[in-house]
A = this chain, B = another copy of it.
Amino acid sequence: MTDGSDRTRVKSVETALDVIEYIHRERSATIGEVADALGIGKSTAHRHLTTLHDRRYVTREDDRYRLSLRFLTFGGRTVYELPAREMIERKVEQLCDETGERAQFVIEEHGERVYAYTHAGPNAVRTDAAVGKRGPLHVSAAGKAILAHLPVERREALITEVSDDASLGARRVREELAAVRERGYAFNDEESTTGLRAVGVPVACPDGRVLGAISVSGPANRLTGAYFREEIPVLLLGAVNEIELNLKYR
- In A59-95, the 8 Å CB interface with B consists of 59, 66-81
Chain B residues within an 8 Å CB radius of A47? 7-10
Chain B residues within an 8 Å CB radius of A57? 17
Q: How far is it, in angstroms, between the C-alpha of A131 and the C-alpha of B131 when the chains are bound?
A: 10
Residue contact B132 to A76, C-beta cutoff 8 Å: yes
Residue contact A77 to B13, C-beta cutoff 8 Å: no
Q: How far is it, in angstroms, between the C-alpha of A20 and the C-alpha of B74 when the chains are bound?
A: 9
Q: How far is it, in angstroms, between the C-alpha of A75 and the C-alpha of B70 when the chains are bound?
A: 7
Residue contact A69 to B114, C-beta cutoff 8 Å: yes
Supposing A72-B114, A114-B69 touch, asked if A77 and B12 sit within 8 A by C-beta, the answer is no
Interface residues on A, range: 35 or more
Q: How far is it, in angstroms, between the C-alpha of A71 and the C-alpha of B70 when the chains are bound?
A: 8
A246 within 8 A of B: no
Partner of A10, one of B12, B69, B133: B12
A4, chain B: closest CB distance, angstroms = 15
A154 within 8 A of B: no
10 shortest interchain CB distances as A-B pairs: A76-B132, A72-B75, A71-B75, A71-B74, A72-B132, A73-B132, A80-B130, A13-B16, A9-B51, A76-B131
A-B pairs with beta carbons under 8 Å apart, 17 shown:
A7-B47, A8-B46, A9-B47, A10-B12, A10-B16, A13-B52, A14-B51, A16-B16, A68-B78, A72-B75, A72-B114, A72-B132, A73-B132, A73-B134, A75-B75, A76-B130, A79-B131
Q: A17-B57, A27-B81, A73-B133 are in contact. List 15 more A-B contacts (CB 8 A).
A: A7-B47, A8-B47, A10-B47, A12-B13, A13-B15, A13-B51, A13-B52, A16-B16, A20-B74, A66-B78, A68-B109, A71-B78, A74-B132, A75-B75, A79-B131
